[in-house]
Amino acid sequence: LAAGSVNDGPLEFSDIMPDNPRDYDKMAPPKGGNEPTTVYFHVTVMSLDSIDESSMTYAADIFFAQSWKDWRLRLPDNMTHEYRLLPVNWLK
């Protein structure tokens, strides 16, 4: 799959990996040239609960998301920028 090409089926993990997956070090931070990677983060407070004014404590449910551009991957130009839940096995 060439970068920017249209894929009629679902995007597979192997479609975006470099030609030789052994060249991809998931522990190394992605860098575009010599610039540091810009990481964007988004926090949404879903709920506040168990508020105790006397001890000044509370419980909160939050949604935390991070995103960044990994220049080593071959993402199609027509890819949407929506949140996706990926299976845990992609981390292996």
* Sequence ranges of the domains in the chain: 1-24+73-92, 29-70
φ/ψ (deg, to 5) at 46: -80, -40
Helices then strands, each counted (H, E), the chain:
1, 2
Q: Where are the alpha helices (DSSP H) in 1-92?
A: 13-16
- Cα 28 from Cα 75, distance rounded (Å): 18
| Burial tier of 81 (Cβ tally within 10 Å: 0-12, 13-18, 19+) | exposed
> pLDDT by residue (tens digit) across 1-51?
444 444 466 777 788 888 887 888 888 888 777 888 888 999 999 999 999
> pLDDT by residue (tens digit) across 8-19?
667 777 888 888
The encoded tokens of residue 29 equal 């931070």
pTM exceeds 0.85 for this model: no
